[in-house]
Amino acid sequence: MTTLDSRVPEGPLAEKWSKRLHDMKLVAPNNKRKRKVIVVGTGLAGASAAASLGELGYQVDAFCITDSPRRAHSIAAQGGINAAKNYPNDGDSVWRLFYDTIKGGDFRSREANVHRLAEVSTAIIDQAVAQGVPFAREYGGELANRSFGGAQVSRTFYARGQTGQQLLLGAYQALMRQVDNKTVTMFPRREMLDLVVIDGKARGIITRNLVTGELERHQADAVVLCTGGYGRVYFLSTNAFNSNGTAAWRCYKRGAHFANPCYVQIHPTCIPQSGDYQSKLTLMSESLRNDGRVWVPKEKADVKKPANEIPEERRDYYLERKYPSFGNLVPRDVASRNAKYVCDEGRGVGATGRAVYLDFRDAIKNQGRDTIADKYGNLFHMYEKITGENPYEVPMRIYPAVHYTMGGLWVDYELMSTIPGLFVAGEANFSDHGANRLGASALMQGLADGYFVVPFSVGNYLAQNKVEAISTDHADFKRTEDEVTAHLQKMLDVGAKGNRTVIEIYRDLGEIMYDQVGMSRTPEGLKEAITKIKKLQNDFWTDVKIPGSGDEFNKMLEVAGRLADFLELAELMARDALHRNESCGGHFREDHQTPEGEARRDDENFCYVAAWAFKEAGEPELIKEPLEFENVELSTRSYK
Amino acid sequence: MHDETMNVHLKVWRQAGPESEGRFESYSAEVNPHMSFLEMLDVVNEDLIKKGEMPIEFDSDCREGICGTCGCVVNGQAHGLERGTTVCQLHMRSFRDGETIVIEPWRAEAFPVIRDLVVDRGAFDRIIAAGGYVSVNTGPKPDANAVKIGKDLSDRAFDAAACIGCGACVAACPNASASLFTGAKVTQLALMPQGAPERGRRVRAMVDQMDAEGFGNCSNIGECEAACPKEISLDNIATMKREYLRAMFTDH
Ligand SMILES: Cc1cc2nc3c(=O)[nH]c(=O)nc-3n(C[C@H](O)[C@H](O)[C@H](O)COP(=O)(O)OP(=O)(O)OC[C@H]3O[C@@H](n4cnc5c(N)ncnc54)[C@H](O)[C@@H]3O)c2cc1C
Ligand code: SF4
Ligand code: FES
């Protein structure tokens, strides 16, 4: 049986990372210039990793899909970034942040990784401030903090509602400084389509130049994948248009294990879909639930009536009813699931019947319109811009949307995948959030990985692996490129004759995933989903319609390629969800709940990371990494 | 809400590649007023694909007005007529039923057209690479609260830092100047104590790079500010000019 070595250092939890840093092998300064590292993706994780590796003196080639590394999905993060600074002196500490993250992840993450994350969190803030990131400040000139996502301490740093943007621009500027220093070469408008593995080690990538359509070969001594999450497998999500799972999936097919693909976070407060043309969903800060009351009509007969004409006694404030002590502030997954249930009952509102009300009427009455405007003015404005409705007058309509994927490529303590020399950072790996991620922790993890882990662990690997320089004429480069060419050609051949557009098939996939591999899952539903996904794979490969050719700028061809990979990843997600006979974090199985409808975890049988290994023929192999908790006690949450 | 529709006529700039001749093509579409402008283009594209024609190529990523990827000239105005709005945040309800909408790419020598509405804005990255940063390496730093920065100052720096690098200012400027973009970064970093030690070098390098890229000079027309989706103020250009002069006469 295959086993996984997480390479977690021995010793007390709080000393593991410093011990590892002391033990690491170093690359001599004059040798660094001779070692080349590829960084794929320049979101928070990739930009910070590429800049830091460049500063250390390595030769770095960095790649992104967008026209400039200043843009990536990371830029859209609004709420903030956590760090255990304890500036407000409200009792926060590294331990508390560690514990909250482990507990928030429903005890499905690795203790040592999470502790390191909490340890380095404070250095991220120091680093960003030194770069000139304009965080929010108090009148006295110190940094401002707020409590976020139900945390009991105020440990979230923010820059108005644009935290991701400002942190990304800080990392981007550090990256461009290295471009100017000629340590980093930037390759924008490139899509990685395959990983080149030579003698069992990651030695390069194949990219498509998105302007000319040419395939290119790039070699290196190590590859760092920072390509983000796979939330767009659901078609509609809060993720950016170009977010995708392709790079990770291609690495999976070259031997990197994929861990916990079924762990997905669904965010309860998004603007609902308004029609079939919808291309993405917009997130609204969950702080809205502090004052807004969630409800739907008690009777189906009322769902099409204007909200304000439905009298109090005909409204069902279902969260307040079911969870009297937490009410509208139940955690993200509970709020999301309950919205789905009431809509499934036919009590959903709005044009599509897939929305619930978030009502500020009482808050405005009690606190005054000005107070509410102070707190949420910009969110109300954004809502009105998109929907054309004024939330001061009529209740908002909200619906859950896919937001974040906790699963990703399996990595060990040093963020190396099961392919030696392939490192994975940011949302693309599975590492720190277990089965559920806390608000404001993704930015923290992306930057922790990029600034403070990858630069050291890549060095440690390079110091111990003196790989020979290779030419991109190497037979394995040629073979891999030929396989990419064949894959693209096959797609274009079908695409020239097919009848169903890429978007039509993509939307069908999204629907299956939303309904059956989404907020609430059943074994029957998951089995059915697998059958439907297989059929859709077949539809794609026999009947997809793709415009144009491969040797030109062709966005629909890019989307088609990402969809082809999502169609395979979707199947693995359903398989993973089906095998995990428990409910935990973002994974809720209807057959594993308490009589009160709460998630029922099964620590005896499922306290492990599910890592899936690709098999050329037959089904993927499940490899388990048992999770051992030496420092915390496993507890069950309750929100009644 | 579902059955509301409106008709629009589009005149869209089509250009196969950087060296090809471009021309306007006309299309008609029945759309829903709740669509965003880019969703409208998605729908038109689905139709074109079904008819076996090439879709209109345009760039987008966040579709929430924060990444700066999208951008085209709509009825003569960069990002359309609505103030403080990127084209991805524009909604069809702000157009009239039956209206003809003219859609063109950013037009500037320094932003060559790649295809249709997609342009190359690499010049902006090279301006930042020339000096748009604080020179610090990753590593141990003083505590983030070691230096206090007043809220007013920090808010002003933030206002400048809000630039999304979309390029609308260049497209709107009759001289195709990049002064608003460059001025915003110069101002942000000059205001903050972290950026002070390299103020002079920074502004010189960035302005020189801006000139080398073929952007025009600023003659204070103000079209950039009017087109800017983040309402970046013209004051940033004044600050940049002052900083530049200061750098010429002092040594840092
Ligand atoms: C609306 C929204 C709000 C959020 N708010 C918060 C928040 O307040 N706090 C918080 O902590 N987190 C938040 N998150 C989550 C957080 O933003 C992301 O998890 C995080 O930014 C991911 O960073 P990343 O660097 O891993 O990936 P990304 O930012 O997704 O970057 C991926 C990079 O990889 C590139 N890429 C992808 N595929 C390829 C390929 N095949 N070839 C080449 N390049 C490729 C892309 O071009 C991009 O540069 C939010 C997320 C959303 C959607
Ligand atoms: S200054 Fe405004 S218009 Fe110019 S790039 Fe920045 S955000 Fe866009
Ligand atoms: S697509 Fe990001 S600003 Fe428009």
What residues does each domain of chain B span?
6-114, 121-250
Of A137, A278, A501, the CB nearest to B154: A137
Q: What mean pLDDT is predicted for residues A512-523?
A: 96
**A-B contacts at Cβ under 8 angstroms:** 215
Predicted local confidence at residue A636, as pLDDT: 82
Cα–Cα distance, A417 to A424 (Å, whole number)? 7
Task: Give the model confidence (pLDDT) of A238-291 as tens digits.
Answer: 999 999 999 999 999 999 999 999 999 999 999 999 888 898 999 998 889 989
Two tokens, residue B195: 């950026």
3-state helix, strand, coil in chain A (%, to 5): 40, 15, 40
Per the annotation, the verdict on A637 as an active-site residue is no
A25 contacts A463 by C-beta, under 8 angstroms: yes
Q: Which of A192, A216, A227, A559 to mutate to test the pocket of ligand 1 (most atoms within 8 A of CB)?
A: A227
DSSP helix/strand/coil, B2:
coil
Cα A209 to its chain centre, rounded Å, is 25
Closest chain B residue to the Cα of A553, Cα to Cα: B115
Does the pLDDT at position A325 exceed 90? no
User: What pLDDT is recorded for position A379?
Assistant: 86
pLDDT at A637 over 90: no
Tens digits of residue pLDDT in A181-201: 999 999 999 999 999 999 999
Percent of chain A with pLDDT over 70: 100
* Ligand 2 proximal residues by C-beta, below 6 Å: B 163-169, 180-181, 184, 227-230, 232
- Residue nearest ligand 1's atom 27 by CA: A228
* Mean per-residue pLDDT over chain A, rounded: 95
Give residues with Cβ within 8 angstroms of A311, minimum separation 6: none
- For domain A266-402, give its CATH number from 3.90.700.10, 1.10.1060.10, 1.20.1600.10, 3.90.1300.10: 3.90.700.10
Question: How far lies A262's CA from each of A1, A231, A537, A572, A586, in Å?
Answer: 23, 11, 19, 8, 8
- How many A from CA of B108 to the centre of ligand 3? 20
Cβ contacts of B215 within 8 Å, gap of 6 or more: B108, B110, B123, B170, B176, B177, B178, B179
Q: Rounded to 10 degrees, what is the CA torsion of A391, A396, A400, A406? A: 20
Q: What would the two tokens of residue A604 be?
A: 């005896």
CA distances to A274, A352, B8, B93 from B3, in Å: 11, 12, 16, 14
What is the residue whose two structure tokens read 């078609």? A235
Say how far apart CA A318 and CA A296 lie, in whole Å.
8
* CA–CA gap between residue A528 and residue A516 (Å, rounded): 8
Contacts of A69 in chain B (CB under 8 A): 125
| Ligand 3, atom nearest to A71 Cα | 2
Q: Please provide the CATH number assigned to the domain covering B6-114.
A: 3.10.20.30
Q: Which tens digits make up the pLDDT trace of A388-432?
A: 899 999 999 999 999 999 999 999 999 999 999 999 999 999 989
The dihedral of CA A62, A66, A70, A75: what is its sign?
Answer: negative
Across the beta sheet with A36-40, the strand order is A184-187, A59-63, A36-40, A222-225, A422-424
Which chain B residues contact residue A556 at CB under 8 A? Answer: 45, 49, 55
Residue A490 clears pLDDT 90, i.e. is over it: yes
Of A456, A484, A544, nearest in space to A52 by CA: A456
Can you tell me which atom of ligand 3 is nearest the CA of B89? 4
pLDDT tens per residue, range A36-46: 999 999 999 99
Signed CA dihedral, B112, B114, B119, B123: sign only: negative
State pLDDT tens for residues A432-461: 999 999 999 999 999 999 999 999 999 999
With an 8 Å Cβ cutoff, are A129 and B64 in contact? Answer: no
Q: Are B112 and B22 in contact (CB under 8 A)?
A: no
pTM, entire model: 0.97
CATH number of the A475-626 domain: 1.20.58.100
Q: Quick one: pLDDT band at residue A569, thresholds 50, 70, 90?
A: very high
Q: Which of A39, A42, A67, A179 would best serve as a mutation to test chain B binding (most B beta carbons within 10 A)?
A: A67
How far apart are the CA of A595 and the nearest CA of chain B, in angstroms? 39
Q: Would you call A452 and B138 a contact, using CB atoms and an 8 Å cutoff?
A: yes
Q: Which two tokens stand for residue A212?
A: 């000319």
Spans in chain B with pLDDT lower than 70: 1-3, 251-252
Which of A86-100, A367-381, A527-541, B82-96 has the least mean pLDDT?
Answer: A367-381
CA distance B252 to B248: 9
Task: Report how far residue A239's alpha carbon sits from residue A232's, in angstroms, rounded to the nearest whole number.
Answer: 7
Q: Which residue in chain A has the smallest CA separation from B156?
A: A134
CATH of region B121-250, choose from 3.30.1490.190, 1.10.3720.10, 3.30.70.100, 1.10.1060.10: 1.10.1060.10
∠ CA A231-A236-A240, rounded to 5°: 60
How far apart CA A219 and CA A256 sit, in angstroms, is 18
Contacts of B114 in chain A (CB under 8 A): 211, 553
pLDDT at residue B252, as a whole number? 53
One of A332, A337, A354, A397 is an active-site residue; which one?
A332
What residues does ligand 1 touch, defined as CB less than 6 Å away? A 40-46, 63-66, 72-74, 76-81, 163-164, 190-192, 226-228, 238-239, 242-244, 246-247, 283, 403-404, 426-428, 440-443, 446
Cβ contact A129–B144 (<8 Å) = yes
According to DSSP, residue A588 is labeled -
Q: Which residues, at least 6 apart from A87, have a Cβ–Cβ distance to it below 8 Å?
A: A142, A143, A145, B145
ipTM reported for the complex, 2 dp = 0.98
